[in-house]
């Protein structure tokens, strides 16, 4: 083996060795997400007690007075908050555009949803905002952000549409009501949909939402001769739900 070949071999070995810890950390983070969202038989989970080993952008659930059931397009949805995660998704300011940091976070969630432990389950993606701005505007923004997450998971990880329901709560359920304008309230919540319970009768006390309108995001103004100049954006940010 010549000197150049030996040097190249040593260099590649160092590069590969350096990536092993990062890959191991990512695998551990995906495993932690799976454990937090998987309804494993015999596993005792209390809200707010999960989260060990989760990435920094993921937060264990807290006890918030959220509805245990909602109705989406006349379909009753029963939620199990024992298997729920808050994800701090970094969107572009005042928009539903996913930043590169957001895509990295969602990639961990996508890998977890592909796992055998979660593959047969459905989840609600709920968008939340802080208390800044009008309530109606915040509800619309949080809904579009939740749809952006769903589009990303469908397109890049082939998660079936039927597995992901979407809702936008706006500022209705603040994670930290004592700090209503804090960034911790701007999040996306992923919660297990309980398919084992019987349908719930439709009542006025059950929140009713619609997911029939798939929001399409406005064209990006940062273009030069039609070319996108903002690296944070790609086709996911401009198209409706992929076919």
pLDDT band at 225 (very low <50, low <70, confident <90, very high): very low
Is the pTM above the cut of 0.85?
A: no
**Which pLDDT score, from 0 to 100, does residue 224 have?**
37
84, 151, 170, 188 alpha-carbon torsion, rounded to 10°: 30
pLDDT tens profile 86-102: 888 777 777 788 888 88
Higher pLDDT, 67 or 140: 140
Residue labelled with tokens 């597995």: 163
Q: Is the dihedral of CA 49, 55, 56, 58 positive or negative?
A: negative
pLDDT band at 55 (very low <50, low <70, confident <90, very high): confident
């Amino acid at each position: 083996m010549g000197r150049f070949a030996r040097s190249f071999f040593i260099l590649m070995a160092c590069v590969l060795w350096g990536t092993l810890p990062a890959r191991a950390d990512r695998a551990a983070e995906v495993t932690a997400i799976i454990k937090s969202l998987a309804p494993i038989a015999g596993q005792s989970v209390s809200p707010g007690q999960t989260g060990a080993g989760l990435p920094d952008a993921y937060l264990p659930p807290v006890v918030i007075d959220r509805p245990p059931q909602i109705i989406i397009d006349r379909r009753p949805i029963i939620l199990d908050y024992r298997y729920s995660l808050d994800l701090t998704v970094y969107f572009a300011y005042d928009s539903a555009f996913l930043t590169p940091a957001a895509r990295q976070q969602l990639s961990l969630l996508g890998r977890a949803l592909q796992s055998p432990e979660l593959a047969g389950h459905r989840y609600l993606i709920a968008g939340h905002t802080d208390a800044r701005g009008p309530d109606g505007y915040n509800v619309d923004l949080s809904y579009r952000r939740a749809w952006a997450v769903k589009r990303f998971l469908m397109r890049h990880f082939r998660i079936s549409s039927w597995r992901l329901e979407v809702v936008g709560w706006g500022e209705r359920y603040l994670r930290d009501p004592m700090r209503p304008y804090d960034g911790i309230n701007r999040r996306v919540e992923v919660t297990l949909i309980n398919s084992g319970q019987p349908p719930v009768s439709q009542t006025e006390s059950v929140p009713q939402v619609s997911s029939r309108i798939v929001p399409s995001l406005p064209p990006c103004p940062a273009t030069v001769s039609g070319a996108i100049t903002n690296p944070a954006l790609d086709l996911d940010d401009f198209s409706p739900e992929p076919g």
